[in-house]
Structure formats: C-alpha cells, structure tokens
Structure 1
Amino acid sequence: MGTSSSKVGLLPEAPSKNSYFSFMKSFMDLKKRDIDEDLKKQKRAPYLWSTSQGPVSDGGASRKRQANKAEVKFRTKFDPRVTARYDIKALIGRGSFSYVVRVEHRLSCQPFAIKLLEVRGQEGRESCCAELGVLQRVHHPNIIRLTEVFETQHRVYLVLELATGGELLERVIARGSFTERDATRALIMVSSGLRYLHALGVTHRDLKPENLLYYHPGQDSRLVITDFGLACWGSNWALRTLCGTPEYLAPEMLAGKPYGSAVDMWALGVISYILLSGSMPFDQHSRPRLFKAILRGSYSFHGQPWSSVSNQAKDFIERLLSQNPEQRMTAEQALKHPWLVTMAAGSSNKNLHRPISQNLRQRASRASVSSSRSGSTTGSRTTMSPRSHSGHESFQLDGNRLQRSVVVSA
C-alpha cells in the first residue's frame, strides 16, 4: 500500500513519502523484509506505537507509561466491534486519510490487514466511496480481496487479505537473477487483473509498482493490484479529472482530454519500462519538464540494459506508450502480445539483475539528495501550474499523488 513507514506489503494509499520516486527508497536497504522477522522484533519491543524515544526498557517506568498511553490512544480509534473480533498487532502504514494495521482474527488466528479510513472530510469520503465501491464488487486472484467492512459515522474499516510478499520492485531487487521471462510472469498477472477491472468498467487511475504486491514471499506467489482510492466506475464523471502519480500519468490526462481505461495501460507501459531497466521512461527533475516529456512521448531505449533486451519486449512497451489512446493496447491485447504469450521464450535468457539494481540505486540516491536539498516533507501539499491552459487550472500534490481541478474560461 505504498504507504510511508515500515510496510510489510499491503494496500498502499496515498503514501506519504517525500519524493515522487518514493518506491525506490526501500532499495537503499536491500534486506528482504519478512513478516516473521517483523513479528520477532515486536516481541523484543512489545509496546506498539511507542514514542520517538525508542523501545521501552524494563527499568524505564516513565517511558513505559508513555508507550502505554500512545498505544491506548491509537487503539481508541478502533470501534469495539472491530477489536472484539480482531487483535490489533501493529501499525504498518499510514496515508492521507487512513491507517493500515496488521491484525489477527481472535478465533481463527488468521492474519489480516485493516485499513481504517477517516471519512469526516469530503476528500476522505470520496476516496472511501471509490475504494469500497470497487472492492465490494470485484473478485479476482490478482486483485486485493476485501473480506469484511465495519462502518461508523466518521470511520470505515476495511478488512483485507494481508499481502506479505513485498512490492513488485522489491522482489526484483531481492532476487539474484532477473530475466525477461521473470518480467513476463509479473506483467501477465497485472494485465489479467486489469482486463477483469476494465471489463467491469473500472479504471484504477493510480497503477504503479508500489500498488503491485506479492501475496506471499514464495516464488509461486500471485501478484495483486491494490489501492483503489482513486478508482472510478463508468466513463462520465471522472473523464477530465487529473489524478494519480505524476510519472505514470497518461498524455491525454495531462492534456485535459476525456479519457478511459487506456490510462491504466499507459501506466502499465511505464511499469514495464522500469521493470526491464530500473529506470523511468520519462525522467525529469521538475514537474513541468516531466509533463512536457510525457506529452511529447520523449523516451528511448538507450543505455544499459536495453542492448540486452529483446525487440519483442520493446515492441510491447511501445504499444503501451502510444500517444494515441485509441492505438494503445488494451489489457486483452496485451495478454495476446507474442512477448507475453511465449513468456519471452524467443528472448535472451541474459540476467538483467545487475544493471536494473544499479539504475534503481542511482535513482534512489539522486532522489534522496534532491529531496534533502529541497527540504520537502512527508505529506506536503503543493500547488503547481505546469503548463498554460485556456482557463484556470491548479494542481494539488498530496504525498506523491496529484490531483488537478480546471475552471474553463468562457
């Protein structure tokens, strides 16, 4: 769930991270995070949500009381109906309008995740309605599953399956080897989930690596699409709303044109490019330049490891990063592309892991330096006007999500 904080791998919502390349921060530490290790750490420091002073020592009575107060205060956010059925284990993520916690069912002892959504404000209500509306209607192995819902006047609790296998790019980094065949396995699962969503009339609108999570750490794990806070149904009310994560925005969204599910396929093209190279197809230091590059379709297959990537893989990406949404592949067409159908059987088996990892580390390092110089803070909001329009337009950046409103001149 693309969240800030020590995520175990769960439904991200509007992660409050301090740069729009936040998904690569975790690559600075290449340790493979495992839920069992996380549980062991908690046993050594049993006071959840302790203060910034660190773990509570046996002899620190004052700090122990503070930790207890912090835990009690957080637990009061949960409705008694929830705590009667689930044992709250740990806070594992936080978004603009939500908390995500790992829980355990008191009777079955099965682990789940609960996403607590604050619905006091209009934005929180809209995000909650979008996510709940989708999750209550979908059932697919490559989409996060909703098992139960609790509602109060100001909060909604979504009980979700717990994905513990980590984000898509974290899995790539953790592997000692990564080939085109490995990439096709992941992209087939994502494309399958998108085909199902698009057939129902659902557009995700925030597809990115942070929102693609493995269900468990095993090699045979399914990959699930998560975070439906910006999803929309049908093709009317949302067609001109610019929202999502800047690097993954389709050109028609930036141009203020009506759009549909093809914006998800553009994002899949960006993800495919990153998956095979560790680099962004549109890599600019400022939002205006980034948007300009996207609108122009300015990307290339230069540098490593592109010389070792097959033409079929490049063709797959090109058909997704088409400027014309009508010419862009649909999810159904993507699944029928020769590269996915043959699972890169005709491609080189060359290990791409090293250049991909190097590119991801370099990007993370540059993003970290840029973030520290700019003094950006977690969850900051920024208003931007990246390009002129025949009217007034404003951009709101919340965490690493962008939302735009337009008032068209007469």
Structure 2
Amino acid sequence: MGQCYGKTNLAPENDATAATTDETTAVVARSGEVPPSPLPGKGTPPRDSLWSSPYPHGGGGVTPSPARGTPRRFFRRPFPPPSPAKHIRASLAKRLGHAKAAPKEGPIPEEEAAAAAAERSLDKSFGYGKNFGAKFEIGKEVGRGHFGHTCYAKGKKGELKDQPVAIKIISKAKMTTAIAIEDVRKEVKILKALSGHKHLIKFHDAFEDGNNVYIVMELCEGGELLDRILSRGGKYSEEDAKVIVLQILSVVAFCHLQGVVHRDLKPENFLYTSRSEDADMKLIDFGLSDFIRPDERLNDIVGSAYYVAPEVLHRSYSLEADIWSIGVITYILLCGSRPFYARTESGIFRAVLRADPNFDDLPWPTASAEAKDFVKRLLNKDYRKRMTAVQALTHPWLRDDSRPIPLDILIFKLVKAYLHATPFKRAAVKALSKALPEDQLPYHSAQFRMLEPNRDGHISLDNFKMALLRNATDAMRESRVLEIINTMEPLAYRKMDFEEFCAATISTHQLEAHEWWEDIASTAFEHFEREGNRLISVEELARELNLGPSAYSVLKDWIRNTDGKLSLLGYTKFLHGVTLRSSNPRQHR
C-alpha cells in the first residue's frame, strides 16, 4: 500500500532487490541478504555513520535506501516456525501468493488448479463507497509497491472539495490470499476507529471498485523521519531527539490505551506534515496493526527486522513490543547506529535475541545518564521490565511537569491484579510502595489525578470507569478494553486512597530494572518486617503462589528457620510470583 505523502518513487515495482515506498510491501532480496541502497553508484564505499555496525564482527556499514531503512518486512506465519532466526521467504510467499517463491519441487497441477479456484473464491468486496471517481481527481503517482501505489489527489465535491489528499490505491488483483484481504480490511477499520490525536494520520474515507480499494487520508508533504535522520548524518542532539521521541510516545500511548498495537514502528512510518523544521510528525501505516485486549498476547510474527522485539520472535507478545521499537528508534537518534545489526536477516534476529546494545563507544560516554537509562529501560529484553509509553513520558530524561500525561492502560491491569490478590500479597506490595523511588512518584501522581479522585481524596470503581469512557474511541470498543472494568468489581464495594493506589499500581519487574533494585528491595523488606511479615508455612506459601507439593523443597528456603517468616530472599521471590505462559495463545484470523 502506498504511503500518504508526496515522495519520489525510488524503486520500480518488480525490482526484487530495491526498497519500495509501499506501506505493507515486503522487500524480497537474495536469500538472507540485506539489500544495498539503489542510490550510490558502483564502487561507492558504504557509509560509516548512520548504519554502521556497533559490533566489532559486523563488518563495514550497509547503506540502505532512504525510502526504506530496513532490509525487508516479515509477515505472519500460519504455523510455528522451526526457529525465529530462520529465513522467512517461504512464509512471505504464502502470505502474498507468490508461487515462484514456494519450495522447489512445486505443486502438482491439481494443486495449482485448487489454488487458482481458492483465489477465485476469495471475497474481495469490502462494502466501501463506489463513487470514488465522482469525488476525487487523481494526480501524479508518488509511490509504488507490491499491492498498489499512492497518488496525490484533490477533492471534487463534498467536505474535501479542492483539498489536496493522499490516495492509497490498493490492487484487488494482488490480494491473492485471505490474509492480504484481511490486512486491508483491518487497516481501514483501525484508521476509521482511531481518531482525535494530533500525531496520528487523519483518515477521511475508503472507496472501492472492481479493481482497487482507495483509502483517502491527509497529505503529509514533509517526508519521512528516516529522511531527516539521514540528512543529519544520523545523529541528533539530546534536545532535538527529545522533540521526536515525545511525539512518538504520545501517539503510541494513545493507541495502546485504545487497544491498538502498531507492530511496525520505525522511522519510515513517521511522516512530517511539511518541510518546516518544527513540523509535526504523524504515525502512518496500520497495515500490520491489530486490536488487542488488555490481557491478550499475540503470536503471529510481523514487523521489520531491525525493530522487532525479542518476544515477537518467541511468538508471545503484547503492547510492549511497540516500546522496544521506540527504544531502537531512540538509540538511532542519539548515536546514529542501529543497536542490533547483521548483514543477514537471520543474523539480525540472533542479535535481537542474544546481543546487548553497545553503550561504550562514542557518543554514549558523553551522553547524559538519564538518556542512557531511558534507552536501556526501553530495550530490556524482558518485556515485563520495560516502561510503558506513558511511563516513558514521565522518565527524568523527558519529564516536564507542565506537560499533561495521558491515561495508562497499565494501571487498570495492575489494580485488577491487586484487587484479586491475597491479603498477604497486598501487604507485601504495600511495603514495596513505601520504598518507591522518587522518580516514580510523578507517574503515580499523574495517573491518580487522571482518575479525578472524590473530594475526600479517594477513588472507586466509578472513577476508573469514567476515566476510560472519557478517553474512549471506537477502537477501544472494538478491542474490548472497556471489559477490564468488569474484572475490577471488588472496587465497587470499597474505596482506595493515593497510598493504596501506589501499592496497587507498582510493578516489581519494572522496579527490578533499576540499578538500585537491591536497595529498594531491602528498604521495602524493612517495612514488611514491621507491618506485614507473619508466620507462614511452606504449604500456605505454595497456596499463595498457586503451586503444588513439588515446589515445597524450593519454597522452604524462602522461610527463616528462626521464626517461620519470609526472609529477604523469600520476600523478593514472593513479590515476583509465578509467571504462567498463556495456554491458549490467540490464533490470527
């Protein structure tokens, strides 16, 4: 699908090694290789700045196309992959219907006939308006990709009369799989449902005829964020980087609250509204996005190689995958290099899974401690330890007390867990909240204010319900985010003050990401010893953690022989609880 802004087309449609300006296109190159840029002439040495490897073994730099800073997109697998680092060309062919990319032995004629019949049976009717030609006059083409192309256009009548817009023209002939059709349908649904954020591309309408789907959106003529990164040689000052990161976090926090995970955040998918230096950015390309319920985990592998989160490759992920991608973007802005680099796609995946970002080489030794901590807390391989987009907005590197902070869906998840916890567990987290680091308090204070406490300084279930409704769009209803209120029913019969709210909305895993976690845990344990620690048997502790007798031998080491109470080790282990993988991961339609 073409992008919604004016940009010179740099790659022909059938060039298998060139990048395209198509939002949902896959770049198919020689097996496993990162395609070189089509721009430099023969013999041009690779640049050593923006895209050079931070790893000693990475070889020289690779110059990407300014239109695409990733080697290729990779797409959903309908079956478990043998390894997350295997080349995915075959699954790409399955998604897009490329027979030539199928296994070498190929289908027998009967299978080919069956595949052709299946394609003919696909329902390519979307129910969109049929009068596109009467409403818009199409101008020049500005981008082309696998599914179609993007054009300038101008409204001929109606609300958009004489207004310039961007038209994504998506070829129905190239929708050869049910997944491809569903991608188009879902992208329009998400764009239509999300509304009201200044950094989100504005959707106007969708149309169709026998040949194409037409998506009408606002025109952004300032180019991609990637173009500006390249024009600067790849490095931003911290102050300039903050301006960009704030806009990214703001719109992603909005999407996450609405129950939408983008799944393809990268510099190519942020467009500037104009060529002005202070122009706003807009998030585009929801072709790989999806609605997600608060406690849901997805399992289909999608995204772009350099920006993909480890848990996506492990096929169990949620909103935190977007946060990882923001961490990659921020790393690039601050130092001009990718944090994870290799010359092949499988090498990139291995680096994402196993390697740590380089914070030793220039310019990191001269970067502020806050900037480094910010990036590290986004690029934590344990998704439970990453900040949310809203928490990142209150991080010391970005904090501005005069800037309003949005509502965070995380507080609803944590309060729900707190309400269903045992009294002993609630006592443990209350002690932990009293050791809360100073830099965490602005986040909790802002979220408590968003709930608009009653005059007596307390909140109830109604406060949570009204806070969600005030921020609801059609996307929130589609993703069923509002249903989380039903799981918070115990709060209907009681109230919560700020102190208890802090205890309820604290994340042990996130605190563990702090360098001074041991000090936090020790201080919390002192409070717990005075106020909540009590005699507990191994059997009772196992019941608290929902464990069977096989765990008794481990749990007995958590309890002191002297008085039968939890030790410091037992307290910290108890706070973590037991993480159970979902036994029913969502299968994609």
Which category describes the TM-score, using the shorter chain as reference length?
0.5 to 0.7
On the 8 A contact 1:232/1:238 being kept in 2, the answer is: no
Q: Deviations over 1:152-210 (max 9, x none)?
A: 35532110101111111322344599411111111101101000100011000111110
Give 3-state SS (helix, strand or coil) of 1:194's partner. Answer: helix
| Counterpart pick for 1:326 among 384, 394, 403 | 384
1:166–1:254 Cα change, 3 Å: same
Distance 1:309 1:16 in 2: 35
Of the three residues 133, 143, 151, the one matched with 2:208 is 151
Q: Deviations over 1:370-410 (max 9, x none)?
A: xxxxxxxxxxxxxxxxxxxxxxxxxxxxxxxxxxxx9x9xx
1:12–1:210 Cα contact (<8 Å) kept = no
Distance 1:175 1:289 in 2: 28
Q: Tell me how far 1:293 sits from its aligned partner.
A: 1.5
Q: Is the 8 A contact 1:6 1:92 kept in 2?
A: no
Coordinate RMSD, CA, aligned? 3.2
Q: Secondary structure at the match of 1:150?
A: strand
Name the counterpart of 2:193: 137
2:361 partner letter: G
Counterpart of 1:301? 359
Q: Which moved more, 1:84-93 or 1:223-232?
A: 84-93
1:202 maps to: 260
Deviation per CA, 1:217-245: give whole Å up to 9, x if none: 11231111110000010148871101111
Say which of 391, 395, 399 aligns to 1:337: 395
2:298 matches 1:287: no
197-206 or 211-220: bigger deviation: 211-220
Letter in 1 for 2:140: A
- Flag the 1:313–1:20 CA change in 2: closer, same or farther, 3 A: farther
Partner deviation per Cα, 1:230-286 (whole Å, 9 max, x = no partner) = 001014887110111111111111122x21010000000011111112211001112
Q: Structure 1's 308 and 12: CA in aligned 2 closer, same or farther, altered over 3 A?
A: farther
Q: Find the counterpart in structure 1 of residue 302 from structure 2.
A: 243
* Residue in structure 2 matched with residue 26 of structure 1 by the alignment: 66
Relative to total residues, which structure has the larger strand share, 1 or 2?
A: 1
Q: Which amino acid aligns with 2:185?
A: C
- Return the letter of the residue paired with 2:133: T
Q: Output the CA distance in 2 between the equivalents of 1:112 and 1:190.
A: 23
1:129–1:280: structure 2 CA closer, same or farther, 3 Å change rule?
A: same
**1:27 and 1:291, CA in 2 relative to 1: closer, same or farther beyond 3 A?**
closer
Q: Is the aligned partner of 1:13 residue 2:24?
A: yes
2:225/2:268 contact within 8 Å kept: yes
Q: Which residue of 2 aligns with 1:127?
A: 183
Tell me the secondary structure at the aligned position of residue 149 of structure 1. strand
Does the CA contact (< 8 Å) of 2:171 and 2:213 recur in 1?
Answer: yes
Deviation at 1:16, TM superposition (A): 4.3
List per-residue Cα deviations over 1:60-101 (Å, max 9, x = no partner).
xxxxxxxxxxxxxxxxxxx98323322211111123223111
Q: Is the 8 A contact 1:183 1:275 kept in 2?
A: yes
Q: Secondary structure at the match of 1:326?
A: helix
Segments of structure 2 that go 5 or more residues without pairing to the other structure are 12-19, 38-62, 69-128, 402-584
- Pairwise mapping of residues 4-403 of structure 1 onto structure 2 (< 5 A)? 5-6=9-10, 12-14=23-25, 16=27, 19=34, 24-26=64-66, 81-107=131-157, 108-119=161-172, 120-121=175-176, 122-139=178-195, 140-152=197-209, 155-174=212-231, 178-235=236-293, 239-256=298-315, 258-342=316-400
Q: What residue in structure 2 maps to residue 76 of structure 1? A: none
> Runs of 4+ in structure 1 displaced over 6 angstroms?
20-23
TM-score by length of structure 1 reads 0.65
Identity over the aligned pairs, expressed in percent? Answer: 34
CA distance, structure 1, for counterparts of residue 298 and residue 8 of structure 2 = 29
- Name the CA distance, whole Å, in 1 between partners of 2:302 and 2:220: 25
Q: CA 1:105/1:150 → structure 2, altered by over 3 Å: closer, same or farther? A: same
In the alignment, the residues of structure 2 paired with residue 261 and residue 131 of structure 1 have an alpha-carbon distance, to the nearest angstrom, of 17
Give the Cα separation in 2 of the matches to 1:171 and 1:229. Answer: 23
Amino acid paired to 1:130: K
Q: Does the 8 Å CA contact 2:66/2:230 hold for their aligned counterparts?
A: no
Deviation at 1:118, TM superposition (A): 3.0
**1:331 positional shift:** 0.6
Judge conservation of contact 2:296–2:318 (CA < 8 Å) in 1.
no
Q: 2:250·2:389 contact (CA, 8 Å) conserved in 1? A: yes
Distance 1:251 1:342 in 2: 31
CA–CA separation in structure 2 for the residues paired with 1:261 and 1:151:
32
Alignment TM-score, normalising by the size of structure 2? 0.46
What residue is the counterpart of 1:397 in the other structure? Answer: none
What is the number of residues matched between the two proteins?
A: 293
Amino acid at match of 2:382: N
Q: Are the counterparts in 2 of residues 10 and 162 from structure 1 also a CA contact under 8 Å? A: no
- Aligned counterparts of 1:271 and 1:20: Cα–Cα separation in 2: 20
Deviations 1:8-56 (A, max 9, x none): x98833264864687942299xxxxxxxxxxxxxxxxxxxxxxxxxxxx
Query: 2:65 is paired with a residue of what secondary structure?
Result: helix
- SS at structure 1 position matched to 2:384: coil
Distance between the aligned counterparts of 1:338 and 1:20, measured in 2?
Answer: 39
The answer on whether the counterparts of 2:22 and 2:146 sit within 8 Å (CA) in structure 1 is no
Tell me what 2:41 maps to. Answer: none
Q: Higher mean Cα deviation, 286-295 or 312-321?
A: 286-295
| Per-residue deviation, 1:302 | 3.2
CA contact (8 A) 1:16 1:94 kept: no
Quote the offset at 1:111 in angstroms.
Answer: 1.1
Higher mean C-alpha displacement, 188-197 vs 168-177: 168-177
Instruction: State the secondary structure of the residue aligned to 1:164.
Output: coil
Q: Is the 8 A contact 1:320 1:329 kept in 2?
A: yes
Amino acid at match of 1:146: F
SS for the counterpart of 2:362 is coil
Secondary structure at the counterpart of residue 288 of structure 1: helix
Cα pair distance change 1:317/1:221, threshold 3 Å = same
Question: How far, CA to CA, are the matches of 1:281 and 1:21 in structure 2?
Answer: 19
